[in-house]
Amino acid sequence: MTCLLTAGMSATTLAQNLIPQPQRLEHREGAFRLDSSVRIVAPNDLRSREIADFLRGAIRDDSGIALAEGRNGRAIELRLDPKIMGEEAYRLTVTKDRIALAASNHRGLFWAAQTLRQLLPVERSVGPISIPAMRIEDAPQFSYRGHMLDVGRHFMPVEFVKKQIDLLSYYKLNTFHWHLTDDQGWRIEIKKYPKLAEVGAWRTEADGSRYGGFYTQDQIRDVVEYARLRNIMVIPEIEMPGHASAALASYPELSCRKQPIDVPNVWGVIKDVYCVGDEFTFEFIENVLDEVIALFPAAYVHIGGDEVPKDRWRESASSQKRMRDENLKDEHELQSYFVKRVQRYLAGKGKTLIGWDEILEGGADSSAIVEVWRGDAEGAKALANGNKIISAGPFYLDSPLNALTLEKVYATEIVPAAYASHREQVLGAEAPLWTERVTTANAETLLYPRLIALAEITWNADKRDYPDFLQRLQAHYRRLTQWQVGYGPENRNVVDFRFAWNPSAQNWRVQAERGFSDLQLRYTTDGSEPSSASPGFTDSLTLSQVVPLKIAPFRGARAYASPREFTMVSHKAVGKSIQYSSQPNANYRLAGEQVLADGLLGGGSFADGMWTGWQGENLRATIDLKASTPVNAISARFLQQSGSWILLPKAVRYSVSSDGKRWKRVYARSFDVDAGSEQRLVEDVAFHADKPLTARYVRMEVDQYGSLPAGHNGAGHPAYFFVDEIVVK
């Protein structure tokens, strides 16, 4: 019978496409014939039998070959060999007569099984498979190789979570960090406090719809067991003392103000936090942790600890009394008191605390593990304090694909120069996916293939060869496609859009930059969601009238991202030339000079590409209407979202001119900006002429807010202001 391999790919090539690349691979003569007569032999302990069952099922699912159940004939042999040194090390040997998987413990034995899976061809076989003879000796360089999934901002169903665990395991990432609570949602059932699920798991969106979800304890147990069988440790994160609004909405008595609040539907840093002065707070936290600990056998519990505004503690009598009673000099030390107290409680339960690098503020116990996200300087502080660390900041996968490219992930050093003298304290790295703007529709485009690059560099950091990695990756794309994984492009976004107004034809031209050549863009103009049956285009679309436009990219029948919604507005300045006294922040601008005169209004997110942001500079924007034009109204919308450092400006002024030299001010408005407000505001700054004006030039001047005030989470940094369009009627 013939052996079916991946088209154009030899058996030896399959071995060369392993990810992560093994530490040592030696090709030998001959090949092992894998067919239905082959059996699996394993030690008789429970975990070895589980690994054998997993491998048997994976071979059946991946190749179509159902292995024999008998005791005679050629075999895949699983062996525990104490001579193999290393916690996750393994040896895989393929000869003509047998395949031997060996390790000193079950963790390594399971990774050997996953390596064997990667030696199988992508397509299912109609006959035997030839696996080339070889010897692999392998072990990871870092013990912590992880991915964090934020389900607090957007809920991810169990089926999606399990799919990601399968992929983590396939690429030998050994840790799933489950971010289960945040301001915008509490996602884990706590039986002692039922309102956490009844209230805290749900929010009212800006359009009035209800959004949310949570995992029952039975579902949590199911996921944890599913991960255990696949060699994945699941670490829960229960955010405290900040990012706790969902809990405070459920039980207002946990807050310092004791006042009801809603579960927020905006992002950023929110001032309401657990009240550290009240013993009830710690009673609640300990009861919650007791139920969490019972569900997660991992040795670690992540408590977050990041972005904790101190405003409520400053105004709280009980919190100030706590500071005095504990001889604490400021609220930073009060946060340290909170963290250390929770750490002692966890230690009493046999758990090690992990927290984001802010747990160092005010002092942190050296036995805590610090997850570093704010840069090497924070990591160096943790190392100098004696803490072990996990690197996360360079691997934020919610970053756009064209900013954090696959190559950039691959090139990142897990141990930068600042850490060199503390190499043994660096446990490894983790790639977080924060989900403010991420749902199941686009999560996988952000995760893959970048998460696969992290798997490579945390397993085998010393062998960096990007062209070789790219070559090996190509075979894996076919596997991902077979598994219906919506992986993204390597160095650009799934799709970017540019709008241009054609004044002679009086229409808009939508230009698309597609990340994949086979993407089809489906659109609707009636407010409905695009489907695979909606009309489509590839590179450009012409629209002759203002419509509620929604566009979604598809590969085949599969939606590859959430629909983008565009709100167009027709006015006299659309498409006209515009000059700026200062350029927008590079992270928050569209290409081209028409950014404030392109006929597009901003949507629900300041990062949607239609809002444009300036930071630390005033603005003078001048539009040339090309001819004397009646001007009846001028308006612009400004955004405030204080937790994201976006404030209304101090003042806005409109002026008009016939020659661009002599200007007449027609409108001025100043703002009494409340930098402490946590509400998302959109302010329409509108001028309406009492009698018609005639002008060729229209100018908008904006005075920025300035530096963020004391007490703000960005105190001392310049605020942003965001504006979407200068509308001239």
Q: Considering the candidates 35, 50, 286, 307, report the single residue annotated as catalytic.
A: 307
Residue type (1 letter), 583? Q
Which run of H or E residues covers position 498?
strand 495-502
Q: In which order are the strands placed within the sheet that holds 495-502?
A: 495-502, 507-514, 540-543
Q: Tokens 């609570």 map to which residue?
A: 181
- CA dihedral (435, 439, 442, 446) in degrees, to 10, reads 20
Looking at residue 673, the DSSP 8-state letter turns out to be -
Q: Cβ(551)–Cβ(544) under 8 Å?
A: no
**Tokens describing residue 323:** 């500071």
Look at strands 577-580 and 619-640 and give their pairing: antiparallel
- Residues contacting 346, CB < 8 A, separation 6+: 289, 293, 301, 352, 353
Residue 445 CB burial class (10 angstroms; 0-12, 13-18, ≥19): buried
DSSP string covering 396-453: -TTS-TTTS-HHHHHH--SS-GGGGGGGGGEEEEEEEE--TT--TTTHHHHHTTHHHH
Helix and strand tally (H, E) in the chain? 16, 34
List Cβ neighbours of 121 (8 Å cut-off, separation of 6 or more).
4, 5, 6, 9, 14, 63, 129
Amino acid at 698: V
Ordered DSSP codes for 573-585: TTT-EEEESSPPP
Q: Are 205 and 265 in contact (CB under 8 A)?
A: yes
Helix (H) or strand (E) holding 161: helix 158-170
Which residue type, as a one-letter code, is found at position 728?
V
* Strand-pair partners of 404: none
Contacts of residue 17, Cβ cutoff 8 Å, sequence gap at least 6: 118, 471, 472, 474, 475, 476
In this structure, what are the phi and psi dihedrals at residue 359, rounded to the nearest 5 degrees? -65, -10
Q: Could you tell me if 370 and 388 are in contact, meaning their C-beta atoms sit under 8 angstroms apart?
A: yes
The first and second tokens of residue 48, run together, are 């070895």
d(CA 400, CA 146): 20
φ and ψ at 401, to 5 degrees?
-65, -30
* Structure tokens given for 320: 């100030």
Query: Of the listed 62, 182, 378, 701, which one is catalytic?
Result: 182
Determine if residue 363 is left, alpha or beta; phi over 0 gives left, psi from -120 to 50 gives alpha, anything else beta.
left
3-state SS assignment for residue 192: coil
Peptide bond just before 241 cis, omega within 30 deg: yes
Q: Which amino acid is at 661?
A: K
Residue 527 exposed, middle or buried by CB count within 10 Å (0-12, 13-18, 19+): exposed
What is the pairing mode between strands 495-502 and 507-514?
A: antiparallel
User: Is 179 a known active-site residue?
Assistant: no
Amino acid at 124: R
Distance between CA atoms of 154 and 157, rounded to whole angstroms?
A: 10
Answer whether 567's CB lies under 8 Å from 601's CB.
Answer: yes
**Spatial contact of 187 and 213, defined as CB atoms under 8 Å apart:** yes
Name the DSSP class of 641: B
Cis check: omega of the bond before 449, within 30 degrees of 0: yes
Read off the tokens for 685: 């700054």
Q: Is 243 a catalytic residue?
A: yes
Q: Which of 154, 243, 476, 712 does the annotation list as catalytic?
A: 243
Distance in angstroms between the alpha carbons of the first and the last residue of the chain: 76
- Known catalytic residues? 182, 243, 307
